[in-house]
Amino acid sequence: MMTLKDTQSAVRRSIQDVRHAITSGELTAVGLAESCYRTIEAENPKINAWLALCKERALQQAQGIDDMRSRGETLPPLAGVPIGIKDVLTMQGVPATAGSRILEGYCPPYDATAVARLEAAGAVLLGKLNCDEFAMGSSNENSAYGPVHNPRALDRVPGGSSGGSAAAVAADMAVATLGTDTGGSIRQPASFCGVVGLLPTYGRVSRYGLIAFASSLDRVGPFTHTVADAATLLGVLAGHDPLDATSSMQPVPDYAGALEHPVKGLRIGIPEEYFAEGLDRDVRAAVEKAADALRSAGCTLHKISLPHTRYAVPTYYVLATAEASANLARFDGVRYGLRAKDAATLGSMYRKTRDRGFGKEVKRRILLGTYVLSAGYYDAYYRKAQQVRTLLTEDFLRAFASVDALLTPTAPTPAFKLGEKTDDPLSMYLADIYTVTANLAGICGISVPCGHSSEGLPIGAQILGRHFDEATILRVAATVEQQQKGTHSR
């Protein structure tokens, strides 16, 4: 039997190393899955990353992989790789709460497309991961099921809203996980927890089976230990899905193969607006070190301007809350989830169910969204925000006419303390200042570890790229990753 230390060592391997170990017989998929559950049992009580486990389903998946190997069959690309799923993505027969009381008892009758593609590629799906309620938050303190603790420093937040997904990888409870990103919810937790987090272009990965927060902003993407693993997972997840009308028909390139191409000659833009007042000194130093690594690898660095960046946060919180107001109207206690039993009328049942089921932050955003969509305010807020969104997108299009990718901080600070910002929503919203722009513009991005603060907390660098040019940002991120590994080796 594998010890806890052995399990964490195995889970810390890359996807290719795990697949090779299973193919060669060094590990069995069942043995690795069982050992992951032992790690979860030991580590999760102090981290609170997992909300539901599906051990029977996972072990069936793992046994299928071991049976394929025993028959001498070629194993699929993710054979036996243990993966966790953020609890806003559906898995057939597994509870889906979206971190909210209003979905208590709901078990979806179908798999999200992203979940189905992982399983078809041989992944072993361990269970569902904690998150801010309906993915609304920057700290994972808004979950109805308690906050997630950062494995790198248990008194710190893991970032949000995909804090459970980032923490599970950082704590070696899974080789990889799925998260979602509406305004930074993959990249910011990746930065805070010291892992890799990839935001695909809007339409690159199907959103079918995603419990929506803001439909024009939501994306599904992976958390991994390495950039190469992120490339491997994107290759599995990407591609058109007829079940998602916003899914792109763009062909899927070989992302893993693209990492073999050097970055020499690439033009990297450094947006001045992302290095202004409010940026933590340690974060600035770490990202500048990443810039030096890219220069040493043969990239050229160019200062650029994205002038409408100053309007990104208010624009985002108008549009995201408006879409949330519309999307969350479906949760009424009639068809699934929580239902108030003490209501005398239908209207009373709606009110009581929503009052008891939705948390404070979700209520705040529903109210904001309903307000900006209301008669007399639609033009002043929602329409104006859509116009500013176009200007932000045009800023990026102009930038990418002269550079191949952008390098920025992922977050203005390292992970802050639990409870530090809970009474100041505006301060919490500003934690997304460097990430919301990519969601508004529909472009791709990635956060890769690039250093540590003076307190030893992880810091991430963000690389942003053109629409459907994930191959380039993965190459750039891999170069930063090599610099960081070289620093650790010394």
| Pair 130, 154: CB distance under 8 Å | no
- The active-site residue, picked from 35, 86, 162, 191, is 86
| CB within 8 Å of 350: residues ≥ 6 apart | 332, 333
438-456 pLDDT tens trace:
999 999 999 999 999 999 9
| Pair 110, 104: CB distance under 8 Å | no
213-266 pLDDT tens trace:
999 999 999 999 999 999 999 999 999 999 999 999 999 999 999 999 999 999
Q: Is the pLDDT of residue 143 over 60?
A: yes
- The active-site residue, picked from 35, 139, 161, 206, is 161
Query: Given this model, what pLDDT does residue 8 score?
Result: 58
Beta strands in 212-331 (DSSP E): 219-224, 267-271, 300-304
Q: Is the pLDDT of residue 490 over 50?
A: no
Per-residue burial over 376-388, b = 16 or more CB atoms within 10 Å of its CB, e = otherwise: eeeeebbebbeeb
| Pair 337, 106: CB distance under 8 Å | yes
Nearest to 298 by CA among 260, 261, 262, 265: 265
Q: Is the pLDDT of residue 9 over 90?
A: no
Q: Is the pLDDT of residue 344 over 50?
A: yes
Helix or strand (DSSP H, E) at 182: none
Rg of the chain in Å (alpha carbons): 21
Spatial distance between the Cα atoms of 336 and 356, rounded to a whole number of angstroms? 15
Q: Give the global pTM.
A: 0.96
68-92 pLDDT tens trace:
999 999 999 999 999 999 999 999 9
Nearest to 269 by CA among 423, 105, 407, 100: 407
The total number of residues shown for the chain amounts to 490
User: Which range has the worst mean pLDDT, 215-219, 319-323, 376-380, 401-405?
Assistant: 376-380
Per-residue pLDDT, averaged over 380-395, amounts to 98
Q: Is the pLDDT of residue 144 over 90?
A: yes
417-431 pLDDT tens trace:
999 999 888 889 889
- The active-site residue, picked from 100, 139, 162, 185, is 185
Query: Given this model, what pLDDT does residue 2 score?
Result: 57
Nearest to 166 by CA among 139, 147, 189: 189
Query: Given this model, what pLDDT does residue 489 score?
Result: 42
DSSP 284-311: HHHHHHHHHHHHHTT-EEEEE--GGGGG
The full set of domains in the chain, from first to last, is 4-258 (3.90.1300.10)
Q: What's the mean pLDDT when you consider all of the chain?
A: 96
Query: Catalytic residue at 86?
Result: yes
Query: Given this model, what pLDDT does residue 426 score?
Result: 85
Query: Given this model, what pLDDT does residue 484 score?
Result: 82
Query: Given this model, what pLDDT does residue 488 score?
Result: 52
DSSP 460-476: EEEEEE-TT-HHHHHHH
Query: Catalytic residue at 185?
Result: yes
pLDDT band at 478; cut points 50, 70, 90: very high
Query: Given this model, what pLDDT does residue 3 score?
Result: 56
Query: Given this model, what pLDDT does residue 7 score?
Result: 55
